[in-house]
């Protein structure tokens, strides 16, 4: 009887393995082929830097300001491919306050990201936003202190300091990882995009300036340039 039961168990495992149910026989679905999108955003008219209002103690020698690149654009997919919303670990990022300037001027992040706002100046700052995407007011805090905000909704967040009216920055929040901020030469690259046809947009200083269609190959690169006047 025991021998008969063992034989039935052995036959059952053989049938299950042949049908693909066995642990050793299980296979993970093959990863979809992915390509990359790259190109350049040519910004013909750069956004002006707001004039700084010097304090009474520095009228004769205004403090130097941090150089900030106003040619930075953001390129992104208008709609995310399948699998873009899988859970992933998100790093904390920093938007510094240095020489009465937000550095960087443009920050692109995914929803769920926490942004730290350290004060690196020898003066008080107060970081706030009245944007519909994320309203907050961190209050005034001195040099060496840092406060943070978690961004859970996609959209554009304009950031200001209520003490220094010339300070401003953009935080662009996406619900997927298919975006990139251009470098100093206007170039960008977005990796790991599943093959397919997508609408791709270029964003600059608060507005989407251009949208194009592009087909991403199963491997290799697709090239797409933008010009913003």
**Phi, psi for 16 (deg, rounded to 5):** -65, -40
C-alpha to C-alpha distance for 183 and 228, rounded to whole angstroms: 15
pLDDT of residue 68: 62
Pair type for strands 34-43 and 221-223 = parallel
Domain containing residue 127: 34-50+68-228
Within-domain flag for 58: no
C-alpha to C-alpha distance for 221 and 197, rounded to whole angstroms: 13
The structure tokens listed for 194 are: 């599943």
Residues 129 and 99 in one domain: yes
Residues 76 and 106 in one domain: yes
Residues 17 and 96 in one domain: no
**Half-sphere exposure at residue 213, Cβ-oriented, CA atoms within 13 angstroms:** 2
- Domain of 172, CATH number, reads 2.60.40.420
**Half-sphere exposure at residue 28, Cβ-oriented, CA atoms within 13 angstroms:** 3
Residues 73 and 116 in one domain: yes
Residues 105 and 40 in one domain: yes
**Phi, psi for 10 (deg, rounded to 5):** -60, -40
Within-domain flag for 60: no
**Phi, psi for 56 (deg, rounded to 5):** -65, -25
Residues 11 and 90 in one domain: no
pLDDT of residue 169: 96
Q: Is the overall model pTM greater than 0.85, yes or no? A: no
Helix (H) or strand (E) holding 113: strand 113-118
Helix (H) or strand (E) holding 6: helix 2-18
Tokens 């020698």 -> residue: 61
Residues 133 and 193 in one domain: yes
Is the Cβ–Cβ distance between 133 and 157 less than 8 Å?
yes
C-alpha to C-alpha distance for 35 and 217, rounded to whole angstroms: 6
Is the Cβ–Cβ distance between 15 and 7 less than 8 Å?
no
C-alpha to C-alpha distance for 43 and 203, rounded to whole angstroms: 11
Within-domain flag for 55: no
Residues 21 and 123 in one domain: no
- pLDDT means per 10 residues, the chain with 229 residues, are 44 37 39 86 87 56 60 94 71 94 96 97 96 97 97 97 93 96 96 95 95 93 96
C-alpha to C-alpha distance for 146 and 116, rounded to whole angstroms: 7
Structural domain total, the chain: 2
Within-domain flag for 56: no
Is the Cβ–Cβ distance between 46 and 21 less than 8 Å?
no
Residues 121 and 174 in one domain: yes
Pair type for strands 34-43 and 226-228 = parallel
Is the Cβ–Cβ distance between 164 and 100 less than 8 Å?
yes
């Amino acid at each position: 009887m025991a021998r008969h039961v063992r034989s039935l168990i052995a036959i059952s495992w053989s049938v299950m393995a042949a049908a693909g149910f066995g642990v050793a026989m299980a296979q993970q679905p093959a990863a979809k082929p992915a390509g990359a999108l790259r190109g350049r955003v040519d910004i013909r008219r750069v956004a002006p830097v707001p004039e700084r209002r010097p304090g009474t103690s520095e009228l004769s020698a205004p403090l130097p300001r941090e150089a900030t690149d106003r040619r930075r654009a953001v390129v992104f997919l208008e709609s995310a491919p399948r699998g873009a919303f899988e859970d992933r670990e998100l790093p904390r990022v920093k938007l510094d306050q240095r020489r009465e300037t937000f550095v960087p001027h443009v920050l692109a992040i995914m929803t769920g990201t926490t942004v730290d706002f350290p004060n690196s100046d020898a003066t008080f700052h107060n970081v706030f936003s009245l944007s519909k995407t994320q309203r907050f007011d961190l209050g005034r805090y001195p040099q060496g202190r840092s406060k943070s905000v978690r961004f859970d909704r996609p959209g554009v967040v304009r950031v200001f300091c209520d003490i220094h009216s010339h300070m401003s920055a953009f935080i662009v929040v996406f619900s997927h990882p298919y975006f990139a901020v251009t470098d100093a030469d206007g170039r960008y690259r977005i990796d790991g995009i599943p093959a397919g046809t997508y609408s791709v947009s270029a964003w600059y200083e608060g507005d989407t300036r251009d949208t194009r269609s592009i087909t991403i190959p199963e491997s290799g690169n697709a090239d797409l340039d933008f010009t913003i006047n």
